[in-house]
Amino acid sequence: MSEQIPEDPETLEEITTLKNVNVALEAEINESEKSYIKKMIDSDVHLDLTLQAIVELENEVERADVITYLAKKKGIGRKPIKEELKKYTETEDIKTVSGSHITANFPGLVDLVIDRDNNVVFLIKDGDALRIEKIWEMNNIKWIPPNKKHLPFMLPRAENVLDYYRCSDDELFQDILQYLKRFSCLSDKHFLIVVCTVFLTYIQDHVDIHYLAMVLFYAIPERGKSRTGKAITHIAFRGVHVVDIRETNLFRFSQDLKATIFFDLMDLWKKAEKNGAEDILLLRYEKGAKATRVIYPEKGAFQDMVHYDISGPTFIATNEAVHRILDSRCIPITMPNKPGDYENPTPEKGVEFKERLTAWRAKMLDKPLPMIEKIEGLSGRLWDISRPLLQICKIVYPQAIKELQSALLEISRQRIEDKKDSIEGQIINILYDLSPEGIYEWTIQTSDLLDKLNLTRPEGHKLTPQYIGKRLKAMGLSTKKVRGYSEIRFILQEFNILLSQYGNEIISTPTPEKTLPNSTILPQQAKSREKQVESQVESAGLSTQLSTHETRINTGQGSLVESGREFPEGEENIISDMREVVI
C-alpha cells in the first residue's frame, strides 16, 4: 500500500496557488492565440492559413469566438466555415502508393501546378520539354505532391503554363509593371527594383544565384506598404503573407515550400527579438543558410539538434526602422505620400502572372545567367545583393540596366551618408582632421580623438576610453601604449580604404620627386610636425611666433636650410635655434 501524503494547510494552499497560476497561463496563451488569428483575419491572410490556425485552437469557446469573428468579416454564416474546417480535422485524404513521400521540392521540378481534375501535380522539366506527373520516383523513393488544402497560396494551372511556355516573354516585364501600378504608387526606379526582385523569386534555386535581396518597404501607416506587399505576394514564387513571426511556421515555409515570405508587421525587429527569431531574418538573404535549434535534448549530443534551411526571397513592410545589420541586407524603399483610388490585390488577380512567370522559370532553370561587370560605387554586401538584380534586368528588360544601376548607386550613396552619422563615421571624420598629409605611417593619441568626440556631448553622455578602444578595434584600427598613453597607428593605404567607405576624401600619396635635397623628411612631414616643433621650441624658452619665412619652411613651401645659405637678417639665429631644438 502506498504511503499517503498528509494534507497540511500550507501544502494545500501551495497546490491551489499553482493550479490558479496554470489556469491563468493557459488563459493567457489562448487569448494570445485568439488575438493572433483575429489579426490574420483583419490582414486578409490566405484563408487556408487562417482555417488551419483556427483548427489548432484547443479551447472550444475561443474557437467559436474566432469563427464568429471570421463570419462577420466575410459576411457569411458560421455553418459554411464549420463545414470547411472539417476538411482540416479529417485524416489525410491523399491516396498514396506504398512507401511514397510528400514533397514540394526536388531537382528538375518547375513547380506544383493544378491539372484539369483540380489535383496538385508536379510540373517537371525534361530536357526542353515539360512533363506533368502525379508521382515522381527518384533514388528509389516515390514522391507525391502535397494536398492543395495544405498550401497557403494559389497554384498556376498546368495547361496555361504549358501554353505560356511556348510563347514569347518579351512583354512580361511591362505587363507585371502595369499590374503592380494598379495597387500602389512607387517611383519608376523603385518599381524597377520590385519587378526584378519578383523575377528573382522564380530562380532563387539557380546555380548562379548566391544572395537574395530583401526588399524593405518603410513608412508611417497608411502609405500602401501592405497593399504593395500583398500585390507582390500574389505573383511571386509561392508567396506567403505573414503578420507575425513564429519560427515553426517560418521553418516550414522556408524548408518545405521554399516560399517567398512577405513580413507585414508594425515593428518587425522588436517582434523578432521577442520571439528569438533574429537569426532567421538575418540569414534569409544568403542562399543555403541554416538556423539551428535544439529539438530533441533527450537524444544527446549531435542528435538533439535540427538544422533548418531558412533562406529565401523576402519582402518586408514595417512602420519602425529595422536594425542596421538587417538594413544592410535590404534594398530600402520609402513609400511616397501618394493617396489615390487603388485596387485591392487578390490572389485571383495575380494568378495569370504566376502562370507566365512559372513558364519563364521553366525556360531559365538550366540556362546560365549573364556576367555583370563590377560597378564602381557598389561594394560589400550591397554589391552581393545587387548583382542578381542586375543579371535579371539584363535578361528580361536590358534597356533599363542603366536606370537600375543608377538606382542602386543612389542607395549606396545614401548608405554612406548614413554611415557618416554613426559613431564610426564620427570617429573617421575626426581622425581625418587630425591626420597629416603626405606620409605613409603616423600615430594619433587616443586622448585627442576622445576629447574631440566628447567636445559637444553633455555630462553623463560622454564616451569612455574603453568604449572608444572597442570601436577602434572593431574598425580594424590598432592601438598601443607608449609611455603610458594610448596611440592609434595608421598606415596610409589602409586608412584611405576606411575614408572612402565613410565618404571622406582620401589622403594623397607622397610624391618622392618633390623631396628636398639633403633633407631626411618630406616637406609634408614638417607640416604634420609643426605643432610638435612649436611645443619643443616653447619648452626651450623660445618664442613660438615664427616669421612668414619660417612658417613657409615648416609647411614645406620654403627652401632647404643648407650650410652656407644666407638668411635675412634676424632670421638666421631663430632658424638655427629651432634646428637645434628639433635635433
DSSP string, 49-106: HHHHHHHT---HHHHHHHHHHHHHHHT--HHHHHHHHHHHHSPP-----TTEEE-S--
- The total number of residues shown for the chain amounts to 583
Query: pLDDT of 2-51, one tens digit each?
Result: 444 445 566 666 666 666 656 555 555 555 677 878 877 887 777 777 88
Q: pLDDT grade, residue 363 (50/70/90)?
A: very high
The one-letter amino acid code at 51 reads L
pLDDT of residue 8: 59
- The grid coordinates of residue 575 equal 632658424
pLDDT of residue 403: 96
Phi and psi at 176, nearest 5°, equal: -65, -40
Residue 224 in contact with residue 184, Cβ under 8 Å? yes
Phi and psi at 444, nearest 5°, equal: -135, 135
Of residues 554 and 86, which shows the higher confidence score?
Answer: 86
Give me the mean pLDDT over the 350-374 stretch: 95
Q: Could you tell me the residue ranges of all domains in the chain?
A: 13-89, 100-151, 172-418, 422-510, 516-582
CATH of 172-418, one of 1.20.120, 1.10.150, 2.60.40, 3.40.50: 3.40.50
Pairing of strands 260-264, 441-445: unpaired
The one-letter amino acid code at 484 reads G
Contacts of 293 (CB under 8 A, 6+ apart): 247, 305, 306, 308
Does domain 422-510 fall into CATH 1.10.10?
Answer: yes
Other beta carbons within 10 Å of 396: 19
Phi and psi at 116, nearest 5°, equal: -70, -20
Query: pLDDT of 227-249, one tens digit each?
Result: 999 999 999 999 999 999 999 99
First to last CA, the chain: 101
Tell me: pLDDT of 129 over 80: yes
Query: pLDDT of 77-88, one tens digit each?
Result: 888 888 787 766
CA atoms within 13 A on the CB side of 458: 1
Tell me: pLDDT of 412 over 70: yes
Contacts of 327 (CB under 8 A, 6+ apart): 216, 321
Residue 37 in contact with residue 66, Cβ under 8 Å? yes
Q: Residue 373 and residue 369: Cα distance in Å, rounded?
A: 13
DSSP H helices in 365-464? 380-396, 401-421, 423-434, 446-453
pLDDT of residue 13: 65
